[in-house]
Structure 1
Amino acid sequence: MAIGLGIGVETQSKLMGTTAFQPAKLAASFTRYLIAAILFGVIAFAAIELTRGNGRIAMVWIPNAIAVAILLRWKVRHEAVFLLMMWAGNVSANLLAGDAPEIAAALAFCNAIEISVALALTRRFTGRHPDMRRIDDLMQFVFFAGICAPAVAATLAMLVLDMAGIPLAPAWLKWLVTDGLGMILIAPSLLIFIDAARAPRRLTKLELVEWPVIFACSSAVTIVVFSQTQFPLLFLIPLVVLVHAFRMGSLGTALAILKIGFIATFLTWMESGPIHLSDHSQDAQLMVLQAFLATAFIIGLPIAAILNKQRSMIDNLEDREARLSLLADNMSDAVMRYNMQGECTFASASVADVLGRPVHEFLGRRPTDNIHPDEMETIPAIQMRLLKGESDKERFTYRRLLDDAEGRPAFIEADCVLVRDAVSNEAQTIIVSCRDVSDRIRLEKKLVRARRHAENAASAKSQFLANMSHEIRTPMNGVLGFVELLLQADLPEEQRRHAKLIQDSGNSMMSLLNDILDISKIEAGQVKLHPEPVEVRDCIMSCLSLYAANAVQKNITLQAIVADDLPAQITTDGLRLRQIILNLLGNAVKFANEGDIYVEAKCDRDDLVVAVTDNGIGIEKQRLDAIFRPFEQGDTSTSRKYGGTGLGLPISRNLAELLGGSLSATSTLGQGSKFELRIPLKISDGHASVVQEPELAATTELLAGSRILLAEDHDINQILVMAMLERCDQDVELAEDGQKAVTAVMTAKAQGRPFHLVLMDIQMPECDGYTATKTIRELGISADDLPIVALTANAFADDREAAIQSGMQGHLSKPLKFELLENTLRQWLPTKPIPPEIAPQPMTQSGILEPQPVEPEPVEPEAVGPEVGKVTSMEKLWQARRSEALAAVSQAIRSGMNGDASLEELARTVHKLAGTAGMFGEEELGIKASALERGLKADLPNTERLRLAEALLNAA
């Protein structure tokens, strides 16, 4: 109760932050220390009286060992006070033994020093809780507590014993031996007993029988040995100790040592036992007994500690092996071990499931003994790299010898690791972990096939888009081209209005086609960027100029606001930036009725911000995200009232993201909208690309009489382009294919009348435009000598790049516009300046385009008569080409669609029919001709080709 009360008071005092006086606790502690002092004194007195020889020093000094054992296992709060109390007990024992007071106090002080040194060294080097069952802890304790501490105490004690007149050297050795013997016999045994009492273990049934028998037999043997003086039977005692060490462990060995020590000491003191067989002094006999007890300890506890460590290692190995076996037997992967001869020495139970064969078929065999024929090269090569030490790790997938239960190929993924010796770094073994990855391989193959199909589909889509572009642009080239020629003729007002409507409808169709092609290219990931220096101010002003006329018609003012800190040039794709601004500006003009439209450009940290603000119809907030999805507009009424496909904004946002930026919108219904483009601001020091518009480029006039070669295989396109070129007073010569174009160029050069420009169609029989251009360049005619401009229905950026790479200098896409053709001619042919009074007026400084009225130049009827005659004669030419194509199709049907050469010629014929039928109101015929063309080019059976041909004839 006193102890419990003391702890409570102490805790309360700590919580209150005080150090109140606790008499009850001090009384309890003093009582315990007093009892310890009394016990120490009693044991010391007994040790002195029972084991003393002729000298002052005891035979085996036990008290110090007991004190050390207690202090190593129990935490004493006031250890110094505890040692002081034991010193007092020791002094009392010495006084009772007859020592003078000063000798008694001095010797007791030496014992206290010995205990302190033993505790300090043991705790410092072995730890506060040394385990005597561990050989390392036991040996360190013997050295520090059994040798070092007694040596220090013996040295101090010599000063005391010298005053008593005792010889120093023998006394020092006796002190060292007796105190050391007590430390190594008593302290380890007590520590083992205390540990066993704190953590008791249940004895097995065998131990419950074996331990009492061993204890009784060993006690009997010890008593027999020391109860007689006729025979020197001391040699039997080590056997007794070893039996305890091997069968009972450290605990039994400690018990045996104490038992043997007690029996040997008591019976020897009773003048019995083998020690008395020697006729020597009592001191000599005591020394023999000390040596015997030390031998018993050396034979017993160290061996027991070694056996305990061995047993612990074996238990750990067995536990580890059990865990490894549990993992190996239950893991899904198959684990195998191979020696450096390539033979399997271990295989887990999962091998049967993973590799499809029982374990015994792998043990002692090489991995190359049973492999699939498909892996005859892979597996041996990897095995040799591992066995030679050329590689430490390998991972590979192979087909196993046996297929799965369904007869499908089974694939295994193997991870191989070469294990090396930690010291010598020599290769020791190879560990292989295998798993069945058949499902993954099949899935990967499906993904590869799917990817291949997707790539083929994307390629087919790209080719389809190119073909559609060509198929649509070719007839539209004729439609818009001839309409343009008609508008330049002296037509009655009603016919001019009808022709203008045709032109507007054709332009709308081409705009829709361009949008569809753009969004398709973006979705297919086929848009390539071409970063270049761009002048943002000029780009914005150019875009404003294009919509100036439309803005004036709707009473709208276009204004550009460009920040002063905007760099003169940035690096980006100028064509895409211009396309985005045009789309945003076009939407603003379309949906606004009057007022102002602002195009603002500024810098915002590392971004270029271009904002287009209008006061149009606005957009509902919940529809702002939808307008950036293809084919969607603000609401369903928008498309009915304003028209359009809803592709402009999705294209613009995708292009903005391709440029590394974003496109966002804010709007208030009925008040207007603001679209903000952000792209990275990369300042450029290069020369900006110049974007020329028809309105701004026509500052020069063509000189007549330049020689132009037109390479075109389509007869109607030949008539149209030649009419346009003759309209520009140029001398035109025709070549129907690429080979003739090369011949014409080289002949003209040889005759001294070289051409000034070549308009080269891309898709032509015998030799296409790319090949013809490369041939001309290889023959030594450079771009400076003869510029070549591509003329094709394909309008993709890739086609423009291909044209430039083949040696061309420009690109004109169909349908061909007269103004673009005229500007191209101005770029490459001789020109003269236009007088300032008739030149186009520039935009004002405010950014508002001021359109100037221009009186149309009177046109003489005879000046346009030939063109009208050509247009009239085209109907006859169309009928002739139509009849030839239908006759060729009929002949092919009669021949059963046989002959590769004839089929290629037929494909070219129906290609021309498909491209021009729509121009003369026979759209259905054009569709059937296009279908037959694709069927002839594709690997279709003849029955399908015959069906398509008959459908064409039926449509005619």
Structure 2
Amino acid sequence: MQAGKEMGSKAGRGISAPIALSAPKLAAAALAGGAVFGLLAYLGIDLTRGEGRFAAVWLPNAIAVAFLLRVRLKGENIFLAALWLGNVSANLVVGDSIYRAAGLASCNSVEIIVALALTRRVISARPDMRQIGDLAWFSLAAGIVAPMISATLATMVLASGAGVNLGNWARWALADGLGMIVIAPTILVIGDALRHPRIPSPGRMIEWAVITLAGILVTCAVFFQSTYPLLFLIGPVMLAHAFRLGVLGTAFAIINVAVIASLATVYGYGPITLVEDSLGSQLLTLQGFVASSFLVGLPVAAVLHRRRAILKDLRDREALLSMLTDNITDAVIRYDSNRIATYASPSARDVLGRDPEDLLDKTANGDVHEDSHGAISDVLERLYSGEVETERFTFRRLMDGADGKPQWLEADCATTLDADTGKVSGLVVSARNVTHRVELEAQLIRARRHAENAAQSKSQFLANMSHEIRTPMNGVLGFADLLLKSDLGTKEQEYADLIFESGNTMMALLNDILDVSKIEAGQIVITDAAVDLEHLLDGCLKLHTANARSKGLELILDWDSSLPPRITTDPLRLRQIVLNLLGNAIKFTEKGRVVLSARPQDQLLTIKVTDSGIGIPEDRLDDIFRPFEQADGATSRRYGGTGLGLTISRQLAGLLGGTLDAESRNGRGSVFALTLPLVEADTGAAMLGADAPTHQADTVRGDVIPTPGDEPYMDENTMPRANILLAEDHDINRMLVCAMLERCGQYVTIAENGNQAIAAIADARGAGEPFDLVLMDIQMPECDGYDATRAIRAAGISPQELPIIALTANAFPEDVAATKAVGMQAHLAKPLVFQDLVTTLQRWLPTRIIEEAELPRRRYDDLPIPAVKHGPGNLSQPNSGNPPLSTKPKSGGHSPAGPAAHDALQEKWHQRRAEALDAVADAIRTGTLEGVDLDALASTIHKLAGTAGMFGETELGEKAAALERALRAQVSGQVRRQLAEELLQAA
């Protein structure tokens, strides 16, 4: 039955809704149906009346089922009741009692209902008798099951207390079953043909007429004679109809044979009358003959119809495939199991540049370009071995284009499998010309390489600019710092203060630009660690306390005690974001307070900075996070700033896996909310946030800025005199650092390159007066700071014995990491800030540092406010109670100190200036600017470029820097000569 359901689902074609008739029309239809049913029943009984009560072929049930399968009425029960009444009337007319008439009519009604129910359920509401499956299942349901049920009931009705007669059961089942199997399918086929008539061609009409007439004549010839048993001639007639006229012609033939055979037999004609027995035996023979005619004809016609439908479908598919392959732009090629081409579409001529016939009977990797032979062979091996089923690849075709340029093809390959063995039986390839795309891809690759090179050049340029700007600024800020600590008049003090503040402002701008560039280049590395969040936020507030107190603002830390004591994040990046937000809040708030709060929210940490400042217009909230943007132009002019702080902060927040948003209304303050994943740190994790909570470490440069009021306490006993080696090739920087060190009361020995530094350390150890600390420049001639440090550590001198501090203008994180990797302990960035130097000396010289736990805790309001605001490096004078000591001479020489330092610097500058200009003039005169080995001249110009700005000759420094870059780059000698002449003109 399940198979029948599946077949029925396929045949569930056109299930129509029941027809709703009005009451009068339904009554008329019921009366007409009942009358026709009664008439057919009477004729069936009367014409075949013999020794028994049963008709030879029972037509009414079959006709009723066929009608109701095609015309489904909404009042079907009323119609069935009318059929029952017609059947009862016919039975009464032939002499049955009322009991027998009603009982036998009920048996017929049951048969009709069962046949309809099974057909509709197993097959469909509209079975198609042209389909062999529908015909077979209908024959089983309506031709066998339903008649058997009806026969069983009829046998009990006919028994009437006289016992069950199995002969009656068989005769009833055969008569009704024969009618269902022969008549119902025939009527359904003819009815469907009449509903959808097709006008045949003249030739087809002639064929129909000839075969049908011949079939009638043969059937009449067989049945209107009783001499010869010629029933075997009917089989070929049925087959001729099945093969030539199809299902419809076969249905007509079955009707013709059944009617002629029945009439002839009833009237005593035909081969069946040769059966010398009772009329019942003759009727049984007639039933068998009609059934065999049906089985020879209609099933064969149904199978042939199915075959013709399959062939038509194949032809349609073949036509569609042919249309596609003939018109598709891709070249389609079919290869067999031996990798031989058996088909090539016409489009191969355009795609491959070859006639399709040239490709047939050739291997897939036969005539291919030598550049593509290896790739094609590898793909074929993977496909035919079964390693992959599909493959797409690009290769160069054999024939180049008309312009001589290479042509590139992209091929989609798919294997075909043998249905029996499952092995690869062939290959289908679809290829297209992708030369334009390959050229575009090549252009994109070149563009990407150019972009990568540009990004690398940008990074290198920024690194060079950082070095070039920091080198002169080291002198500017360092000497300005020393000037501020000397005895100056009020006016001079004010000028020095402005120099220092302007220098710090420029360095802040440089640092912000470098930060943005590094973040955009993806060169920021996030390092998660356990962080004491409360301590970190407390330190950030302390850093801004002085600025807040100077403006009369209240700083508040609102800490939620439900937060875990330690979280996992990057403390340096988090510190920078919070410091930027606090700095902005204090800068744009004239009165009131600034609140720093921390709250948990689900699995997130929300840190908010709330101020009562000027606020931000709502339509500008998104703009303030873009580089160099502020709320408006007036804000920038009034409060200053680069407009990069919030850009950096939001980008860093994204790197930390969070967000940074703002809420504000103009004139009503602002709220900046930093949201980060809240990950509680393991109890055993190392806590970076608490190791150095009192210093701000810049996330990009690695600079360390002391926090006001929290630096280690220092008095005259905390920094004893020590022996310090300064390795620096730049003479002005040497003089500056020496002046700073001697101000701290240190002995200074000078080395001008790495080799001198190594020798000085060895001599000092041999003399029993080892150095306590080394300040090591990185870029030095002969032997740089990296190689010198490696040699010192390789000699067995440990960091505990001799700390080495990097002193360089290269301040990127990778530069700091490189110094640590070779064995240095810390990093001081140029321009060198005096307080940074003091902090580093405190950290690494053998000195006693009073721990924070030994000092009384101070509230923010108790923190001292510097008398003069120079920036973070000038909070106090380290050794105000100890005047500088004289420098102790050592093998490497030493730098002078005292009032004559400024005059010495001026003299050294004029000497260096003259030497550099003479070298340039000599290079122009001798033509050496055309050469390639100009490192010596470039180094001389580098020193001029790095110090000119410190002595008021900014243009000269810019020209020198331009010439230096030209000397180190691969540019023409003409460009170098032009830059050299411009340098001399600027001098």
1:444 aligns with 2:455: no
More deviation, 577-586/165-174: 165-174
Instruction: State the match for 1:936 in structure 2.
Output: 967
Kindly provide the CA deviation profile for residues 714-759 of structure 1, in whole angstroms up to 9, marking residues without a partner as x.
Answer: 1221222122223323233333223443444455456654432221
Distance change in 2, residues 1:518/1:118 (3 Å): closer
1:861 and 1:97 map into 2 onto residues whose CA distance is 148
Q: CA deviation at 1:163?
A: 6.3
For the 8 Å contact 1:712–1:761, the answer to whether it is kept is: yes
Q: CA deviation at 1:303?
A: 0.7
SS across alignment from 2:757: helix
Which of residues 594, 601, 604 is equivalent to 2:597? 601
Instruction: State the match for 2:946 in structure 1.
Output: 915
Which of residues 469, 478, 489 is equivalent to 1:472? 469
2:73 and 2:885 map into 1 onto residues whose CA distance is 131
Matches within 5 A, 1:532-551: 532-551=529-548
Which of residues 386, 391, 404 is equivalent to 1:389? 386
Instruction: State the match for 1:10 in structure 2.
Output: none
Instruction: State the match for 1:792 in structure 2.
Output: 808
1:715 aligns with 2:715: no
Which amino acid letter does the alignment assign opposite residue 819 of structure 1? Q
Which amino acid letter does the alignment assign opposite residue 49 of structure 1? D
1:66 aligns with 2:63: yes
Distance change in 2, residues 1:751/1:653 (3 Å): same
1:167 and 1:832 map into 2 onto residues whose CA distance is 126
Kindly provide the CA deviation profile for residues 151-205 of structure 1, in whole angstroms up to 9, marking residues without a partner as x.
Answer: 3444444456666999945554444433332222212111222222333333334
Instruction: State the match for 1:690 in structure 2.
Output: 693
For the 8 Å contact 2:625–2:646, the answer to whether it is kept is: yes
Q: Which runs of 5+ in 1 are unaligned?
A: 1-21
2:582 and 2:82 map into 1 onto residues whose CA distance is 104
1:33 and 1:399 map into 2 onto residues whose CA distance is 79
Which of residues 820, 824, 839 is equivalent to 1:804? 820
Which amino acid letter does the alignment assign opposite residue 760 of structure 1? M
SS across alignment from 1:389: coil
Matches within 5 A, 1:201-350: 201-276=198-273, 282-350=279-347
Instruction: State the superposition RMSD in angstroms.
Output: 3.7
Instruction: State the match for 2:839 in structure 1.
Output: 823
Kindly provide the CA deviation profile for residues 585-608 of structure 1, in whole angstroms up to 9, marking residues without a partner as x.
Answer: 444555555x44423223152233
Kindly provide the CA deviation profile for residues 114-137 of structure 1, in whole angstroms up to 9, marking residues without a partner as x.
Answer: 434433443443333322111112
- Matched residues, number: 928
1:122 and 1:835 map into 2 onto residues whose CA distance is 99
Instruction: State the match for 2:375 in structure 1.
Output: 378
Which amino acid letter does the alignment assign opposite residue 713 of structure 2? T
For the 8 Å contact 1:560–1:846, the answer to whether it is kept is: no
More deviation, 722-731/519-528: 519-528
SS across alignment from 1:336: strand
Q: CA deviation at 1:619?
A: 5.1
1:98 and 1:937 map into 2 onto residues whose CA distance is 130
Distance change in 2, residues 1:344/1:691 (3 Å): farther
Q: CA deviation at 1:943?
A: 3.2
Which of residues 745, 754, 757 is equivalent to 1:729? 745
For the 8 Å contact 2:560–2:599, the answer to whether it is kept is: no
SS across alignment from 2:811: coil
1:557 aligns with 2:573: no
Which of residues 698, 713, 731 is equivalent to 1:699? 713
More deviation, 712-721/312-321: 312-321
For the 8 Å contact 2:930–2:972, the answer to whether it is kept is: no
Instruction: State the match for 2:916 in structure 1.
Output: 885
Which amino acid letter does the alignment assign opposite residue 875 of structure 1? Q
Q: CA deviation at 1:786?
A: 2.5
Instruction: State the match for 2:10 in structure 1.
Output: none
Q: CA deviation at 1:93?
A: 3.7
Which amino acid letter does the alignment assign opposite residue 182 of structure 1? G
Distance change in 2, residues 1:382/1:273 (3 Å): same
Q: CA deviation at 1:894?
A: 4.9
1:526 aligns with 2:523: yes
Instruction: State the match for 1:664 in structure 2.
Output: 662
1:581 and 1:638 map into 2 onto residues whose CA distance is 21
Instruction: State the match for 1:17 in structure 2.
Output: none
More deviation, 461-470/284-293: 284-293
SS across alignment from 1:373: coil
For the 8 Å contact 1:355–1:400, the answer to whether it is kept is: yes
Which amino acid letter does the alignment assign opposite residue 711 of structure 2? A
1:948 aligns with 2:979: yes
Which of residues 411, 416, 419 is equivalent to 2:413? 416
1:280 and 1:424 map into 2 onto residues whose CA distance is 60
More deviation, 576-585/713-722: 576-585
Q: Which runs of 5+ in 2 are unaligned?
A: 1-19, 696-705, 869-875, 888-895
2:726 and 2:936 map into 1 onto residues whose CA distance is 22
Distance change in 2, residues 1:599/1:897 (3 Å): farther
SS across alignment from 1:132: coil
Q: CA deviation at 1:100?
A: 5.9
Distance change in 2, residues 1:911/1:225 (3 Å): same
Which of residues 930, 949, 955 is equivalent to 1:924? 955
More deviation, 681-690/467-476: 681-690
Which of residues 36, 57, 82 is equivalent to 2:54? 57
Matches within 5 A, 1:74-153: 74-76=71-73, 82-83=79-80, 85-98=82-95, 106-153=103-150
For the 8 Å contact 1:482–1:871, the answer to whether it is kept is: no
Kindly provide the CA deviation profile for residues 866-911 of structure 1, in whole angstroms up to 9, marking residues without a partner as x.
Answer: 3322332223322333333334334444554389784222222221
For the 8 Å contact 1:843–1:849, the answer to whether it is kept is: no
Instruction: State the match for 1:5 in structure 2.
Output: none
2:476 and 2:901 map into 1 onto residues whose CA distance is 14
Matches within 5 A, 1:629-640: 629-640=626-637
SS across alignment from 1:133: coil
Q: CA deviation at 1:487?
A: 3.5
1:93 and 1:549 map into 2 onto residues whose CA distance is 120
Q: CA deviation at 1:468?
A: 1.0
Which amino acid letter does the alignment assign opposite residue 934 of structure 2? L
Matches within 5 A, 1:423-462: 424-462=421-459
1:147 and 1:547 map into 2 onto residues whose CA distance is 101
Distance change in 2, residues 1:752/1:240 (3 Å): farther
SS across alignment from 1:729: coil
2:25 and 2:742 map into 1 onto residues whose CA distance is 129
Distance change in 2, residues 1:558/1:234 (3 Å): same
2:120 and 2:335 map into 1 onto residues whose CA distance is 48
For the 8 Å contact 2:660–2:672, the answer to whether it is kept is: no
Q: CA deviation at 1:831?
A: 1.8
Instruction: State the match for 1:12 in structure 2.
Output: none
For the 8 Å contact 2:342–2:361, the answer to whether it is kept is: yes
SS across alignment from 1:697: coil
Distance change in 2, residues 1:795/1:862 (3 Å): closer
Q: CA deviation at 1:241?
A: 1.6
1:756 aligns with 2:759: no
For the 8 Å contact 1:928–1:955, the answer to whether it is kept is: yes
Which amino acid letter does the alignment assign opposite residue 47 of structure 2? L
Q: CA deviation at 1:108?
A: 4.3
SS across alignment from 2:839: helix
Q: CA deviation at 1:657?
A: 4.1
Which amino acid letter does the alignment assign opposite residue 700 of structure 1? M
More deviation, 688-697/491-500: 491-500
For the 8 Å contact 2:478–2:834, the answer to whether it is kept is: yes
1:289 and 1:860 map into 2 onto residues whose CA distance is 143
